[in-house]
Amino acid sequence: MTTTTVMKPDEAALRGDLRSVDFRVGVAEGRWDLADPPGVVWPYAVFWVAAPLRPNSPDRFHLRLDCAGYPAVGPTGRFWDHTSAGPLPLGDYPKGTGDTAKVFRTDWPPQKAETGDTPGSALYHPFDRRPASDHPDWKTKHPELMWTSEHTVVDYLEMVYGLLNTPTYTGIR
Partner 1 sequence: MDIHEGQRAHGHGDEFEVFVFPSGGKPIEVKARASDTLREVLARAGVKPDDEVAAFIAHDEHGQDDDAERDEDEHAGKGLDKRLHELGLGRGCRIVHSACRWVEVTVNYQDQSPHRRFRPSARVGRVLRWVVTKELKLKEEDFDVIKLKLCDGHDVRNDTRLAELLKHQTCALCFELVLKPRIQG
Among 112, 139, 141, 173, indicate the residue that binds partner 1 (CB under 8 A).
141
Nearer to partner 1, 87 or 162 (CB): 162
d(CA 69, CA 145): 19
Among 7, 86, 97, 111, indicate the residue that binds partner 1 (CB under 8 A).
97
Residue 133 within binding range of partner 1, rule CB under 8 A: no
Q: Are 47 and 60 in contact (CB under 8 A)?
A: no
- What is the closest distance, in whole angstroms, from the C-beta atom of residue 59 to partner 1 in the complex? 9
The neighbouring-strand residues paired with 79 are: 63
- What is the closest distance, in whole angstroms, from the C-beta atom of residue 53 to partner 1 in the complex? 7
Sign of CA dihedral 162, 167, 169, 172: positive
Q: Are 47 and 26 in contact (CB under 8 A)?
A: no
- What is the closest distance, in whole angstroms, from the C-beta atom of residue 123 to partner 1 in the complex? 10
Contacts of 115 (CB under 8 A, 6+ apart): none
Residues in contact with partner 1 by CB under 8 A are 21-22, 24-25, 27-31, 50, 52-53, 97-100, 102-103, 124-126, 141-142, 144-145, 158, 161-162, 165-168
